[in-house]
Structure 1
Amino acid sequence: MDLKDATRTWLTEGFVILPGFLPAEDLAPAVQELDLMFPTADGFHDGTDPRRERFVGDEFAGIDTFPFASTRISLLAVHQRVLELAEALLDADVHLYGAEAWAKYTGACDYDQDLHRDYLNHTILVPSTTPGCRQVEMFVFLHDVPEELGPPHLVSRRHTVDFPAVPNWLLRPGRESTFRFDTPADPSLYAAEVSGAGPAGTVIAFDPGTFHRGTQLTAPRGARYSMQLCFRPTGMEWGHRVGWAVKSFTTEWTEFVSRATPRQLQTLGFPPPGHPYWTPETLAGTALRYPDLDLRPWQ
């Protein structure tokens, strides 16, 4: 599927699944560094990795936030093909407003979710279909994710286009809640789910207004490793999740900056070459802050 076809599908369905979108040769070096962040499947299930207990009992406990202990995985979050996809879908220069790496293990906890949209913690407003005002999330599989390793399931916008912004969670049959963002779901919506299962390098791009959910890992001694990336048009200030400055003095951030391209750094907030920000004063200061960064593109 080329980027034009991917964009048409994303606009129509609310998501697009791109199997093996990232090349294996680019994925492999990053995957080799997963153990810097997470236990292996054997380390978790055999109890030999001292980090094991962190992942037990909470479906979100397996999340690491950008920048990662693995610089190669940090760079994968702004891989050229990922940026090209985000720019094509949004038809704009893009800003990376969230990036997480996520490890899940069979039996660690309950990963089976209710259908929901993500917009509540991705914008202070509500999703928009206006060009220039959209956001896109991506799941990136760092290894093969068949159905028994809990791929996300998604529901086409064709089934939910008339749904109001509130409530947001569509509860599975038998579940009840008084929370104003919850409501019982029509079982037909769960029957309409599409599985995102796919090989390593698969990218699932979806709108924060698209209903989707996480599913259970059932493979014996299974482990699933993925990333979740979030992009918005550069000037869309009401779409946000984290601020990068809070981690910008860490060793992980400094190592990432020293190895990233100007285009990748622009995605995280660096002004582009030629911007008025770049003066002898700021160049000298940036050289002190990032001594291994080649500043020639900005001079």
Structure 2
Amino acid sequence: ERDSYIIIHNFLSETERSEIAAAIRRILPPWSDLEDKTKTSDATYFPYEEQCLNRAILNRECIRFSQKWLGTKKIHYRPGLALVRYPGFKGYSNKPHIDNGNNSLLPPNELDQNHGQLNFWFYPEDVAEDQAPTYLLKKSDGQNMERAKKFVAPGGSLAIFTNYNWHSAGDYLRDDGQRYVWKFAYGRADHPWEGVLHYTNVGQNSHFRHFIGLLTPKEREFFRFPPVGHPYYTLQTLEALSKQYPGWDKKEYLK
């Protein structure tokens, strides 16, 4: 239903869930390990130092769904982040927003959903009513928060929605614990006006270099790299790429 959102309980296997949860906890400490108890929120952005988070962006089901939704096999990753809410966090449950304003140069297109990028929000740990749950609205419900659904679900669950869906953060009401979310989006490759950030500035980042070097040529296309057969690829450039991205096999581009 293109008007709505999707919530899938237990989307991740327990192995996937526990690996992602542990990785995020190493980057964004849980409340029990947090030294500065005045902090109510924190985030870290792609590319991640924990390589399992970078690899998980290539979830095959998410890619297939994005390609079908966006009407093309040629899609690009839109940068995401890992986020944590701690006790004391105040959300904006009465002030929903859409992410299009900070993710696209173009206002929403009500007739063509291909301009609405597809968001995947993973919750690696259980989310309870009092842990700043995300409020989600159907597009047709506008900003009517009385019709919003709270994302209260077990760890490993997933919310899928577009940049045209209104949503909001709730308050964190507990005195302990935390609520994590890890998210990314996909959009059409031929829509360069989209994306909250781009990552052409991280080519020398060690985490990005390690990640890209171990991908297949097809997987690299999701991260804006030219496909096999592109005229950019020569013996000289492939040699340079193999040095910049350790693990890059230049033979794969010479077939």
Tell me, yes or no, whether TM beats 0.5: yes
Pairing 1:83–2:63 present: yes
Instruction: Find the aligned partners of 1:70 and 1:297 in 2 and give their Cα distance.
Output: 26
Instruction: Find the aligned partners of 2:68 and 2:153 in 1 and give their Cα distance.
Output: 22
Instruction: Find the aligned partners of 2:100 and 2:169 in 1 and give their Cα distance.
Output: 16
SS of match in other structure, 2:242: helix
On the 8 A contact 1:17/1:202 being kept in 2, the answer is yes
Question: What does residue 178 of structure 1 align with?
Answer: none
Question: What does residue 232 of structure 2 align with?
Answer: 277
SS of match in other structure, 1:248: coil
Question: What does residue 23 of structure 1 align with?
Answer: 13
On the 8 A contact 1:95/1:268 being kept in 2, the answer is yes
Pairing 1:245–2:200 present: yes
Question: What does residue 146 of structure 2 align with?
Answer: 191
Q: 1:249 to 1:233 in 2, by over 3 A?
A: same
Instruction: Find the aligned partners of 1:222 and 1:112 in 2 and give their Cα distance.
Output: 20
**Aligned residue among 175, 188, 213 for 2:168:** 213
**Aligned residue among 266, 271, 289 for 2:244:** 289
Number of aligned residue pairs: 251
On the 8 A contact 1:31/1:73 being kept in 2, the answer is no
Instruction: Find the aligned partners of 1:91 and 1:199 in 2 and give their Cα distance.
Output: 31
On the 8 A contact 1:22/1:81 being kept in 2, the answer is no
SS of match in other structure, 2:213: helix
Q: 1:104 to 1:275 in 2, by over 3 A?
A: same
On the 8 A contact 1:149/1:223 being kept in 2, the answer is yes
On the 8 A contact 1:100/1:229 being kept in 2, the answer is yes
Q: 1:282 to 1:211 in 2, by over 3 A?
A: same
Question: What does residue 167 of structure 1 align with?
Answer: none
What's the TM-score, normalizing by structure 2?
Answer: 0.89
Question: What does residue 107 of structure 2 align with?
Answer: 126
Pairing 1:157–2:139 present: yes
SS of match in other structure, 2:200: helix
Which letter maps to 1:291? P
Pairing 1:40–2:27 present: no
- What stretches of structure 1 of length at least 5 have no aligned partner? 1-8, 161-169, 171-188
On the 8 A contact 1:105/1:217 being kept in 2, the answer is yes
Give structure 1 regions of 4+ aligned residues with deviation exceeding 6 angstroms. Answer: none
Q: 1:116 to 1:35 in 2, by over 3 A?
A: closer
Pairing 1:69–2:49 present: yes
Which letter maps to 2:77? L
Which letter maps to 2:17? L
Structure 1 residue 37 displacement after superposition: 0.9
Report the aligned-residue RMSD. Answer: 2.1
SS of match in other structure, 1:225: strand
Structure 1 residue 232 displacement after superposition: 0.9
Instruction: Find the aligned partners of 2:18 and 2:216 in 1 and give their Cα distance.
Output: 20
Question: What does residue 39 of structure 2 align with?
Answer: 56
On the 8 A contact 1:77/1:99 being kept in 2, the answer is no
SS of match in other structure, 1:103: strand
Question: Share of identical aligned residues, percent?
Answer: 18
Instruction: Find the aligned partners of 1:38 and 1:230 in 2 and give their Cα distance.
Output: 21
Instruction: Find the aligned partners of 1:219 and 1:77 in 2 and give their Cα distance.
Output: 31
Which letter maps to 2:25? D
Q: 1:263 to 1:102 in 2, by over 3 A?
A: farther
The C-alpha deviation readout for 1:196-216, integer Å capped at 9, x for no partner, is 222222221112111110111
Question: What does residue 137 of structure 1 align with?
Answer: 119
On the 8 A contact 1:136/1:207 being kept in 2, the answer is yes
SS of match in other structure, 2:3: helix
Which letter maps to 1:18? I
Structure 1 residue 131 displacement after superposition: 5.2
Structure 1 residue 218 displacement after superposition: 2.1
What's the TM-score, normalizing by structure 1?
Answer: 0.77
Structure 1 residue 64 displacement after superposition: 0.9
Question: What does residue 103 of structure 1 align with?
Answer: 84
Instruction: Find the aligned partners of 1:17 and 1:35 in 2 and give their Cα distance.
Output: 23
- What stretches of structure 2 of length at least 5 have no aligned partner? none
